Structure 1
Amino acid sequence: MKRLLATTLALGAAPAAAQQYFDLGTMVLSATAEPTQATRTGQSIEVLEGDDLDRAGNLGLLSQLDYLPGVSISQNGPVGAEGSLRIRGNESRYIPVYIDGILATDPSDTSGGFSDFGGLITGGVSRIEVLKGSQSALYGGSAVAGVVNISTLPTSEGPDGISQSAEVAAGSYGSFATNYDIIHRTERSTVSFGLAHARSDGFSAADENDGSTEADGFRRTRLSFGIEHHLTDTASIGLNGFVEDGRTEFDEYGNTPQDGTPDEIATSNAVGLRAYGRFEAGNVKHDMSVQHYQVKRTVDSPTTTGNAKPYSSRFEANRLRFEYRATGNLSDTIRLTGGMDHQRETANYANLTSGSEKIETTGAFVEAVYTPNDDLDLIATVRLDDHSSFGSETTGRLAFSWRPLEGTVLRGAVATGYRPPAIDELYGQYPGNFPFIGNPDLTPETSRSFELGIDQHFNDVAWIAATIFRTEIDDLIAYKPGTPATLENTKGESTRQGVEFDGAWSVAKGWTLFGNYTYTDAEKADGNQLDRVPEHDLLLGVSAELAPRLSGQIMLNHVANRVDQGTPMPDYTLVNAGLTYDLSEASQVYLRIDNLTDEQYQTAKGYGTSDRAFYVGVRADF
């Protein structure tokens, strides 16, 4: 369900807009084959809108996603360093990421997932949808934990003419960020252009409390564009794309002092392009698209201290993907969507057995939405994928949404998923002091996920949501120590289960309490706790209108009971605060204070986190 109130207030948006977040008619774009009201999807969905992100001021998107219920993160140092997102205890490799409709997972990544969570920047992002629970029936393999959909493009809705927005922010660690967006709308066309840049001198990726003081910097630039033209009232075509370029300094091991030289550098360049068309013929809507994604990465470390040996690696991956969907009404109560897609992925780098590998996948799905009355929705989805290396795999999902009373939603979903081994897991070869070799005999992981929840809205005063969840994974691909080390399918069932609570209460005019809590029991097949997954994750906060144009917020995030590499990690409690002042109806200035109490903590063993930090920014629409 939509969690905009708590999330928005936690991130520093103006609480004056709070009333709209009790609206039950919010549309989500990615939970089903067609845009659907959030209350009718039957599953948990988190939505962040543009203003929530713009007023937050954070350089990195990962830290903002951490505020969501059921979501946790870890990062090997400052913004730009390698980072991981987990949904209900499930790692990043189970979470495909789409940027402006373009699948942005990296076929050359060690697990074939999205390799750049740590480098995502907030500038220019207009909307994020986080789907929780298995989505393989709609999105195919690897969508075992959920899906993240990021948009930097505006909708075609809005007044004709030119509109612009700009933002500049600066703060601790030599941080600076800016972004500019321009949109031109006419009766038939929408053209948009966006440019975002962020950079920071950073702090030591290896924790400075362990004697590492060399700062590890970061910079990232993203250019995005979109063009959509309505040929008729029932037909349109469009083209959109993005280019991202980034550079990050890093430390290799993190749990010991490093060599003190700023010579460990990772770079990334990604390009995405998508062309699409939509038209209606009779009672059927047709959507088709073709997209291309390319990512090039380098990792360089000339370090020769101790046992470390210098290395330099180059990675390149490409994906070409075709999609087609058709949607129509079979009756007044049944809506049917059928679709198919095909993609070819290639990876090229020296650490592959042959230097280059290719995988092709073809999928087809059918989704039926049955709405016998205004209070009940039943959704069934089934999909068949054919993988060039592993043959066919069938996945499915059943979901329901029942609204027995005004303001009450009962929802649930059960789904199956799978994740085929990544190219590197099959064919990677890494000699050296810690040799590793892939395992071509790996088989796909399979999964089942369940959730049951209730959402209760109390007019415009308060709301609360509760969800129980469980994911079971068979044949989990796990690290197998040895010389060389490798991977193996773990026998038995790995589980992630727990409960989420989320809510907000408008206690007085202009004052709102908000919070969420997630309990996660995440275990490997041998019963040991999964690394870096907190058992307890609590967020509490208050937002207030302090004066006619001034709003403020403060929140507390407590994370407890984690292990990393099998070793217990200390609990931590962060306090963040912020102020927003409206210079006019279209411009704001904001102040954000991260880690107000200067807590010393780690999200990944041996890697540093921010001390107390201050950021200021100004944003304007014109």
Structure 2
Amino acid sequence: MPAYKKLLLCLFLLTSVHTYAQQQDSVRTLKVFGECGQCKRRIETAVKMKGVSSAQWSPDTQQLVLAYNATLVSLSDIEAKILAAGHDLEGRKATDEAYNALPPCCHYRENTGEADHHADTAAIKTAQLKEVTVGARARSSYISGLNPIRTEVMTDKELLKAACCNLSESFETNPSVDVSYNDAVTGSKQIQLLGLSGNYTQLTVENLPGPRGLATPLGLNSIAGPWVQSIQLIKGTGSVVNGYESIAGQINVELRKPQTADQLYANAYVNSNGKTDLNLDLAHKLNNRWSTGLLLHDDFLENKNLDMNKDGFRDLPTGNQFSAINRWDYTDGKGFETQFGVKALYDNRTGGQTGFRSADKLSASVYGLGINTQRYELFGKIGYVFPQQTYKSIGLQLSAIDHQQDAYFGQTIYNAQQQNFYSNLVYQSIINNTKHKFKTGASFLYDKYDETYKADNYKRNEIVAGAFFEYTYTPSEKVTVVAGLRGDHHNEFGNFLTPRLNVRYEPIEGTTLRLSAGRGQRTANIFAENMSALVSNRDVVIQGGATTYAYGLKPEVAWNKGISVDQKFHLFNNDASASVDFFRNDFTNQVVVDLENARQVKFYNLEGKSYSNSLQLGLNLAPVKELEVHLAYRYFDVKTDYSGELLERPLISKDRAFLSLDYSIAGWKIDYTINYNGRKRIPSTAENPAVYQLPAYSNDFVLMNAQVSKTVGKQRAMDFYVGIENIGGYMQQGAILAADQPFSPYFDASLVWGPVSGRMAYAGWRYKIK
């Protein structure tokens, strides 16, 4: 048979099969109201009948996607089965008898909209909330049992357990993330996940690039806590849709949305150090299609004599930070939606010795520090969901950023600018039925860097174009497999592949096992990410190879593997859960930051091994209805080859224990957190004079925080809160080496392993109009 006839025959057969499948199967989407994983099983089981080939219900969207043979079963028969199971449809209600037979946790009609899953329709809410008092407490953080990628969701209720003036403070009640000071001068903080610094955690804001590159050291301080609606924390490999940079995990921040946020949310905060925070969030729905929001933040600290450890240096820099976001949302009600907005940040801070004044800038008499940051960002999202096929959608994400930072540390100047453009096109659909889903698309990333350190200038452009495909297989409600692959081309590093795999298995109800594995790659920004070395008088040594690479150093590449088990059960007549997770990270290349010579900080490509092992155990329970108890223990084994010697990664605690007590009654909330931090290895200071030498390991220590809050009112709720951080007043003594000689070669503020300031009290007020 001629080749063209074979081709025509194949096309005919494929068309015939596709046409036959279309004739046999109809795909419809129904809105079905429910609440949790039990609802999912009940709904999908109810419609298992002859003629229904697949059924997938999502608690997040309240949508049931059906594939059925209309010649064997009618849609009205399917709907009748759903109603008989006790679940309402859009426009039709189940009988009260069927609804009341559901377990209490599935009573979606009583949902106030503040629980961690989904609201009912406005009509049902209006009819029911006047008569029902909700007895269950919504979880402030949870791990979704249905998501194949293990994702811990921290809601805004979790963030209210502490002051959370900015994102760095949002993790104080989370045992998975460590937050510590980068150094004893700048006041910047970093997170640690899986025993790796925050550089290896991909930080996104609504799945768009967040503070990265030059913004890394101060980025956590630049996102106001009262702006945050929720935080999603992923350990290990995530989705290839979000890019290739995730190595330790991903933190995605969801901000308050104008279409769902309170009309007004105000927050005022002041602490005993003299710091004041003011926040105002506004949202307005213009009509059925348009809504807009404005988020404002301003904080300032003017206490130039804050020096609790009496070393002659300000514990925190003084200055002012102002930031704002204006965003707009449009939806036509037929599947099309777009969001766009602008962000701006102005941050000026001055630190150093308590006697430093602006006239002393760059002098050799008084050590001063100044950081001036200006950041502007435009962002947009365009999406379309096909009305008759809601499993099918297409979306485009866009952002453009200009980040300018001018800084000086003593007599050292570091000025830098980063310009970034990002786009990501995503299309998702199914293959035959909802057991086989996929996402595919293409992305483009452009970064332009211009850095000046002392008299040296470092410029580079990074252009990365890539494409991805991610396949999700769900043969049953117990098993989900997500396999993704993306290929990218970097203008300096060439082509590279990023494979990732996530598997979820639920052998019995309430037990969820997950496996993950994948690759991550990133470019190290050695100056911005190690500003703690710049504030010290260490000599910077770059032992690079290829001059075409950033700083002459190769990209960092690592493979991450993980396993986790989450178990739900009942204890003390209340819901409880336990979890264990283990992650292993192996670098095939890493930009090693070597502080083992007290006079230098060296940067070079890894020669040898570098790995991290992370084990965490967790237990959540409620001994009584009003009290939640969270317990966790975490162990790290993190080592790197430093000039041929395999050593523990410095300034990382092997052991950490965590206890959180949350008590709520009659509008009162009491939150108490205890953190135990084990000892940390300190880089060698043997080359210093004896007076400026430190022991090989730090002390272990305990930190305690507490907060009491009272809520008054409902429609226009008002909160008053007071709290104390570092109740025991523990401080690292001698956090700055040679603080009395800041221009000597022994001056070093980078070896911080504990708190640099003591006990701090605060008070605040929140007010909102729904």
Counterpart in 2 of 1:444?
A: 555
CA–CA separation in structure 2 for the residues paired with 1:210 and 1:191: 48
Q: Which of 619, 624, 631 pairs up with 1:508?
A: 624
Counterpart in 1 of 2:165?
A: 59
Counterpart in 1 of 2:343?
A: 242
Counterpart in 2 of 1:621?
A: 768
Give secondary structure in 2 for the equivalent of 1:51.
helix
CA–CA separation in structure 1 for the residues paired with 2:616 and 2:537: 44
Counterpart in 1 of 2:96?
A: none
- Alpha-carbon deviation of 1:341? 0.5
Counterpart in 2 of 1:32?
A: none
- Normalized against structure 2, the TM-score is what? 0.69
Contact 1:39-1:409 within 8 A present in 2 as well: yes
- Normalized against structure 1, the TM-score is what? 0.84
What is the identity, as a one-letter code, of the residue corresponding to 2:280?
Y
CA–CA separation in structure 1 for the residues paired with 2:242 and 2:177: 20
1:326 aligned to 2:427?
A: yes
Larger radius of gyration: 2
1:528 aligned to 2:641?
A: no
Counterpart in 2 of 1:268?
A: 373
Counterpart in 2 of 1:19?
A: 137
Counterpart in 2 of 1:116?
A: 219
Q: Which of 417, 420, 423 pairs up with 1:316?
A: 417
Q: Which has the higher contact order (CA 8 A, sep 6+)?
A: 1
Contact 1:79-1:202 within 8 A present in 2 as well: no
Counterpart in 1 of 2:709?
A: 580
Counterpart in 1 of 2:478?
A: 375
Q: Which of 544, 555, 560 pairs up with 2:678?
A: 560
1:469-524 superposed Cα distances (whole Å, 9 cap, x missing partner):
11111222114689996522112221111211222211013122212221111111
CA–CA separation in structure 1 for the residues paired with 2:560 and 2:470: 18
Contact 2:275-2:301 within 8 A present in 1 as well: yes
User: In structure 2, do the counterparts of structure 1 residues 394 and 206 end up closer, same or farther at CA, with 3 Å as the change threshold?
Assistant: farther
Larger relative strand fraction: 1
- Alpha-carbon deviation of 1:218? 4.2
Q: After superposition, where does 1:43-192 map in structure 2 within 5 Å?
A: 43-54=149-160, 56-76=162-182, 81-108=187-214, 113=216, 115-135=218-238, 137-154=240-257, 156-157=259-260, 163-185=263-285, 186-192=287-293
Give secondary structure in 2 for the equivalent of 1:93.
helix
Identity in percent: 16
1:357 aligned to 2:460?
A: yes
User: In structure 2, do the counterparts of structure 1 residues 454 and 521 end up closer, same or farther at CA, with 3 Å as the change threshold?
Assistant: same
Counterpart in 2 of 1:399?
A: 502
Give secondary structure in 2 for the equivalent of 1:187.
coil
User: In structure 2, do the counterparts of structure 1 residues 77 and 420 end up closer, same or farther at CA, with 3 Å as the change threshold?
Assistant: closer
- Alpha-carbon deviation of 1:200? 2.7
User: In structure 2, do the counterparts of structure 1 residues 99 and 239 end up closer, same or farther at CA, with 3 Å as the change threshold?
Assistant: same
CA–CA separation in structure 2 for the residues paired with 1:247 and 1:576: 29
User: In structure 2, do the counterparts of structure 1 residues 311 and 571 end up closer, same or farther at CA, with 3 Å as the change threshold?
Assistant: same
CA–CA separation in structure 1 for the residues paired with 2:624 and 2:528: 55
Is the deviation greater in 489-498 or in 149-158? 149-158
Contact 2:543-2:604 within 8 A present in 1 as well: no
Counterpart in 2 of 1:605?
A: 751
Q: Which of 579, 584, 589 pairs up with 1:470?
A: 584
- Alpha-carbon deviation of 1:120? 4.3
1:595-616 superposed Cα distances (whole Å, 9 cap, x missing partner):
1122223796358523111111
Counterpart in 2 of 1:306?
A: none
- 5+ residue gaps in structure 2? 1-36, 38-113, 115-133, 354-362, 685-695, 736-749
Is the deviation greater in 115-124 or in 589-598? 115-124
User: In structure 2, do the counterparts of structure 1 residues 250 and 421 end up closer, same or farther at CA, with 3 Å as the change threshold?
Assistant: same
Counterpart in 2 of 1:569?
A: 698
Counterpart in 1 of 2:606?
A: 490
CA–CA separation in structure 2 for the residues paired with 1:205 and 1:565: 28
1:589 aligned to 2:713?
A: no
Counterpart in 2 of 1:208?
A: 309
CA–CA separation in structure 1 for the residues paired with 2:238 and 2:305: 37
Give secondary structure in 1 for the equivalent of 2:711.
strand
Give secondary structure in 1 for the equivalent of 2:648.
coil
CA–CA separation in structure 2 for the residues paired with 1:433 and 1:497: 30
Counterpart in 2 of 1:223?
A: 324
Is the deviation greater in 266-275 or in 62-71? 62-71
Contact 1:79-1:218 within 8 A present in 2 as well: no
What is the identity, as a one-letter code, of the residue corresponding to 1:168?
A
- Alpha-carbon deviation of 1:617? 0.9
Counterpart in 2 of 1:297?
A: 405
Counterpart in 2 of 1:278?
A: 383
What is the identity, as a one-letter code, of the residue corresponding to 1:287?
G
1:294-342 superposed Cα distances (whole Å, 9 cap, x missing partner):
11111124x4xxxxxx233321110011210100011320101001111
Aligned length: 577
- Alpha-carbon deviation of 1:593? 0.9
Give secondary structure in 2 for the equivalent of 1:609.
coil
- 5+ residue gaps in structure 1? 3-7, 9-15, 27-37, 253-257, 304-309
1:264-288 superposed Cα distances (whole Å, 9 cap, x missing partner):
1112121111122111357531101
User: In structure 2, do the counterparts of structure 1 residues 154 and 246 end up closer, same or farther at CA, with 3 Å as the change threshold?
Assistant: same
User: In structure 2, do the counterparts of structure 1 residues 445 and 357 end up closer, same or farther at CA, with 3 Å as the change threshold?
Assistant: closer
Give secondary structure in 2 for the equivalent of 1:570.
coil
CA–CA separation in structure 2 for the residues paired with 1:371 and 1:387: 34
